Structure 1
Amino acid sequence: MDLSMMKQYIRCIELMREKVPSFAEYPFNLPAIRELRSLPFDPKVTFIVGENGSGKSTILESIAVAYGFNAEGGTRNFNFSSRATHSELNNYIRIVKGTKRPRDGFFLRAESFYNFATNVDELGPDLINYYGGRPLHEQSHGESFFAVLQNRFQGEGVYILDEPEAALSPSRQMTMLARMHELVQEGAQFIIATHSPIIMAYPGAVIYQIGDGLERVDYEDTEHYQVMQAFMKNRQKMLSVLLE
């Protein structure tokens, strides 16, 4: 076994298939989960990509909750809840950890970021200082989302991000890549669900694409890259087909 894998924070997840009540019921009937046995992660950056409703956020959320994060985001110290909507998948997966323990960690998800920001602002200025010193709700969605990346993420940590592109412009997504790289060089491990061809372009990352199951693919073979490339190269032709 590669010793570097032993030292990473999260080596893989395993679905405890013998405990699953029925593969005909949600979320176990989703193709990505129905065929899941073990999913290894890169020590640096792993992406999970797929269509809406394919199960990528469900898998990511289960990893975060099983690892000890709050289902709506934040560090392990956050325990707020506005509405419990996460699946029970976290009860059926086993996280295989490496020998190295992280000093930091965060679950950042676009879907419930408003609730997270409200909780931070309500907890007062001492906590707000960790997020750049400016109340998150006094900033735009994108500004406050990026403030967390820029100020709260500290390296040597596990960072689980669910569709961060929802809050970020294309230029901010590129800035996010640069910030990710700084953190990776400081010992961070990222697991990210995304639709963004910009974000998933991080060099050397492992990419899993959800189709009939979870398949490891090269960046250029992702459906997201191919669709965007085809649209940009043949914009007028594709628009005429779409809008006729």
Structure 2
Amino acid sequence: MIHLAELRLRVPAGAERAYPFTVPAVHAMTTLALDAPVTCFVGDNGSGKSTLLEGIAVAAGLPAIGTDDLARDPSLEAAGALAAALTLSWTHRTPRGFFLRAEDFFGFAKRLARERADMLRQLDETAREYAAARRAPDALGRAQGPLRASLADMERRYGVDLDANSHGQAFLRVFGDRLVPEGLYLLDEPEAALSPQSQLALLAMLIDMVGQGAQFVIATHSPILLALPGARLYTFDTAPPERVAYETLEHVWLTRDFLGDPGRYLRALGMG
């Protein structure tokens, strides 16, 4: 299902020399069609793909994993300026979905750990207070009930210690728990925490959710994620971004070429 169908960009007068409008791919853009359940932005570092994705997230008002308020996040100041210049066209405005930057996920895991520790501390303090006051056990149970329910729900969804898992395991657990049908999901380099095997697991999740009406816009370097069937691929190494075929992407042919003969590349680097 297509929720977000197109974006249009109009650079504000006088902003042409201000970041992020100085990024060539952004500066030259007027419209970008998002006419597939999966759209991938690909390009070199600094090409503008993540910046545009952040701008879309702010403009769409999506909740974010790891960031409480996109509009107030200082790291998204440029994205806010870009969002103000974007007009989003919807075929079906969905309240479901989220925005995820790989770097925000690690902070999210640590925040969950702090919240769990705080819940356990509150439970312990309540138990000591009721014991000192010689309150009945059933009164303590009623007092602790809501907090225990919240703790049990957190542990059911994320485990006892999400931060104790590998980054890849924790990422997939959070990601899988948050996905719901017919949502819009904006993902910025989700492969950062994932091994190739875990990228395949994520790919399977994406395919499953597309079958349930979800739409994804992904900024990625991963040839594995870029291979998602039916994905529309845009390269940000041109100005404006252009639609490209999977086989023509440098990320794909360079990875394949290297794996076919790594010694040749190492010799060229003076290491062979």
Question: Which TM-score tier does this pair reach, normalised by the shorter chain?
Answer: 0.7 to 0.9
CA distance in 2, matches of 1:66, 1:130: 33
Match of 2:69 among 69, 79, 82: 79
Q: SS state of the match for residue 243, structure 1?
A: coil
Q: CA RMSD in A?
A: 2.3
The equivalent position to 1:37 in structure 2, one of 23, 30, 34, is 30
Of residues 56, 61, 67 in structure 2, which corresponds to 1:68?
61
Partner in structure 1 of residue 121 of structure 2? none
Tell me, yes or no, if the aligned pair for 1:9 and 1:43 is still in contact at 8 Å.
Answer: no
Asked if structure 2 preserves the Cα contact closer than 8 Å seen for 1:20 and 1:92, the reply is no
Q: Which residue does 2:209 correspond to in 1?
A: 183
The answer for unaligned runs of 5 or more in structure 1 is 1-6
TM (norm. structure 1) is 0.87
Q: Which has the higher contact order (CA 8 A, sep 6+)?
A: 2
1:141/1:81 CA distance change after superposition, 3 Å: farther
Q: Could you tell me how far 1:103 is from its partner in structure 2?
A: 5.0
CA contact (8 A) 1:42 1:205 kept: no
**Which of 4, 13, 16 is the matching residue for 1:10?**
4
- Which deviations, in whole Å up to 9, do the C-alpha atoms of 1:162-215 show, x marking residues without a partner? 001101000110111111111000100000000000110001100000123201
Task: Answer 1 or 2: which has greater helix percent.
Answer: 2
Question: Following superposition of structure 1 onto structure 2, how do residues 89-104 of structure 1 map, counting pairs within 5 Å?
Answer: 89-98=82-91, 100-104=92-96
Question: Do the aligned partners of 1:69 and 1:75 also contact (CA within 8 Å) in 2?
Answer: no
**Compared CA separation, residues 221 and 61, structure 1 to 2 (3 A):** same
- Paired letter, 1:237: R
Q: Which residue of 2 aligns with 1:118?
A: 110
Quote the Cα distance in structure 1 between the aligned partners of 2:38 and 2:152: 31
Which residue number in structure 2 is paired with residue 158 of structure 1? Answer: 184
Which position in structure 1 is the counterpart of 2:97?
105
How many aligned residue pairs are there? 233
Equivalent residue letter for 2:222: S
CA distance in 1, matches of 2:60, 2:53: 11
Structure 1 residues 53 and 67, CA, compared in 2 at 3 Å: closer, same or farther? same
SS of aligned partner of 2:217: strand
Residues 94-153 of structure 1: per-residue CA shift (max 9 Å, x gap): 11111x232520111102212223344445536635744444323222111111222111
Q: 1:202 aligns with which of 228, 231, 246?
A: 228
Q: Deviations over 1:20-63 (max 9, x none)?
A: 53322211010110111111113310000000111111011111
Instruction: Note if 1:57 corresponds to 2:50.
Output: yes
Say if 2:227 is the partner of 1:234.
no
Structure 2 counterpart of 1:3: none
Q: Distance in 2 between matches of 1:226 and 1:128?
A: 43
Letter in 2 for 1:35: A
1:128 maps to which of 150, 154, 172: 154
Q: Where does residue 4 of structure 1 map in the other structure? A: none
- Which residue of the partner structure matches residue 242 of structure 2? 215
**Counterpart amino acid of residue 223 in structure 1:** E
Higher Cα Rg: structure 1 or 2?
2
